[in-house]
Amino acid sequence: MGGFHAIMIIQPKIRGFICITSHPEGCAANVREQIDYVKSKGPIAGGPKSVLVIGSSAGYGLASRIVSAFGSGAKTLGLFFEKPGTEDRPGSAGWYNTAAFEKAAQAEGLFAKSLNGDAFSHELKAQAIEIIKNEMGGKVDMVIYSLASPRRTDPDTGEVYKSVLKTTGGDFTNKNLNTDKGLVEEVTIGAATPEEIDHTVKVMGGDDWELWMNALEGAGVLAEGVKTVAYSYIGPKLTWPIYTDGTIGRAKKDLEAACARISAKLGANHGGAAYVSVNKALVTQASSAIPVVPLYISILYKDMKARGTHEGCLEQIQRLFAERLYTGEAPAVDEAGRIRIDDWEMREETQAAVAEIWEKVTTETIDELTDFQGYKEEFLRLFGFGLKGVDYGAESDPSVAPPSLGGA
């Protein structure tokens, strides 16, 4: 093929809680920083060697893929739903993150393939199984389930379920940060109908995770001792009406119920286990859409950075692998059987400080009392903006793609 490359200058265009542009070189710089961090931690002894990551292009899933590959030398198959760039229009950040990840993995001789499609569908499951069978030595020894999606099409009935972020009781009124305008306002979140609760559980609960594990089991592609992990969140009482006791919390309860069933089966058939890991609240595309949470995160970051306990997705997953899942012993779990890497977030002194600031903070004091500045910077970084060493005035090529999906 010829050497034609589209070039353009790409700038952030924020619409509410999403940025509709993303920067290929910036995303690549972001991924490189994460790879360097994992390498600085040294290899994870006894870590996984063949990993399927469902939701691998951003946030916790991308971190899981990077730790698997660069901390454990694993072959990785990553699944996601992202928009490719064209010659004159940037694609989504997860697309560029994956392009950079795959190139870095290839450069070190690590197998890395990706599938861009609907992970809830039968088709993507079948395609993933084919790749595991034909190109990954026939088995996976770790399956990461890290989807965050607003909707799901039932693969059998075609019915479309939409998740909502509502309470399961009455109205809940609290402070909210309008991250676009920097205003601390009040927000009232209404109660979900039984049908809305049900639909949110269908989208973000454990149903699809179980379908995945059953499909992989049925195809005979699970290795002896296989582990699988899905991610959850709990947080402080302050956010419970909207999170833990809200519609999304119901879905997470369902995820835990599925976990117990999956784990029993993996234990009996493969000497394996399934886990739910409760992770820290972090700025991702998924979390920025949840009311109340961005204000909580801005306050939390300020406290955790001051104490030196702040972590990003990558530090969280590095700790999950090295200090929980692959220590040679069964990981410590809480009373409900969950792994906790939200332990530093939930420390009493941190939560006491957050509660105090929560009461006081106003629009006028947002920059003084919280790390809103850090929130905004991290939000932009999700889309590849604000990375050190990237020349944002230079022309950029929006048509870059992951090598396994047609990239150079």
Catalytic residue positions, numbered: 243
CA–CA dist 114, 124 (Å, integer): 11
Smallest gap from Cβ 116 to ligand NAD, in A, equals: 8
Nearer to ligand NAD, 232 or 399 (CB): 232
Among 38, 104, 274, 281, which residue interacts with ligand NAD (rule: CB under 6 A)?
281
Considering the rule CB under 6 A, would residue 258 count as an interface residue with ligand NAD?
A: no
Among 21, 22, 44, 60, which residue interacts with ligand NAD (rule: CB under 6 A)?
60
Considering the rule CB under 6 A, would residue 266 count as an interface residue with ligand NAD?
A: no
Nearer to ligand NAD, 128 or 366 (CB): 128
Judged by CB under 6 A, which stretch of 8-16, 116-124, 333-341, 373-381 contacts ligand NAD?
116-124
Nearer to ligand NAD, 50 or 98 (CB): 98
User: How much of the chain is in helix, strand and coil states, percent to nearest 5?
Assistant: 40, 15, 40
The crossing angle, in degrees rounded to 10, of helices 24-40 and 93-107 is 50
Strands (E), 57-171: 75-80, 112-116, 140-145, 151-153, 160-162
Joined tokens for residue 45: 């002894």
DSSP-derived letter for residue 364 is T
Interface mask (CB under 6 A) for ligand NAD, residues 202-231, using x and -?
-----------------------------x
Distances in whole angstroms, Cα of residue 202 to Cα of each of 83, 161, 378, 394:
24, 7, 30, 44
Report which residue type is found at 205: G
Residue pair 105/51 in contact by the 8 Å Cβ criterion: no
Distances in whole angstroms, Cα of residue 26 to Cα of each of 40, 45, 87, 228:
21, 31, 18, 31
Joined tokens for residue 82: 């992202």
Among 37, 120, 243, 301, which residue interacts with ligand NAD (rule: CB under 6 A)?
120
Considering the rule CB under 6 A, would residue 314 count as an interface residue with ligand NAD?
A: no
Count how many Cα atoms sit within 13 Å of the Cα of residue 177 in the half-sphere of its side chain: 25
Judged by CB under 6 A, which stretch of 104-112, 127-135, 192-200, 278-286 contacts ligand NAD?
278-286
Which residues are 18's β-sheet partners? 15
Smallest gap from Cβ 215 to ligand NAD, in A, equals: 15
Considering the rule CB under 6 A, would residue 312 count as an interface residue with ligand NAD?
A: no
Smallest gap from Cβ 383 to ligand NAD, in A, equals: 11
Nearest to 285 by CA among 310, 243, 305, 313: 313
Among 64, 76, 244, 284, which residue interacts with ligand NAD (rule: CB under 6 A)?
284
Considering the rule CB under 6 A, would residue 161 count as an interface residue with ligand NAD?
A: no
Nearest to 97 by CA among 6, 22, 42: 22
Considering the rule CB under 6 A, would residue 29 count as an interface residue with ligand NAD?
A: no
Among 70, 80, 96, 372, which residue interacts with ligand NAD (rule: CB under 6 A)?
80
Among 38, 51, 79, 136, which residue interacts with ligand NAD (rule: CB under 6 A)?
79
Among 14, 18, 110, 118, which residue interacts with ligand NAD (rule: CB under 6 A)?
118
Number of H helices, E strands in the chain: 13, 13
Q: Is 228 exposed, middle or buried (0-12, 13-18, 19+ CB in 10 A)?
A: buried
Q: What is the dihedral of CA 189, 194, 199, 201, to 10 degrees?
A: 90
Considering the rule CB under 6 A, would residue 59 count as an interface residue with ligand NAD?
A: yes
Smallest gap from Cβ 404 to ligand NAD, in A, equals: 15
Smallest gap from Cβ 352 to ligand NAD, in A, equals: 21
Of all residues in the shown chain, the one whose CB is closest to ligand NAD is 59
Size of the site for ligand NAD (CB under 6 A): 29
Residues of this chain that interact with ligand NAD (CB under 6 A) are: 55-61, 79-82, 94, 118-120, 146-149, 231-233, 279, 281-282, 284-287
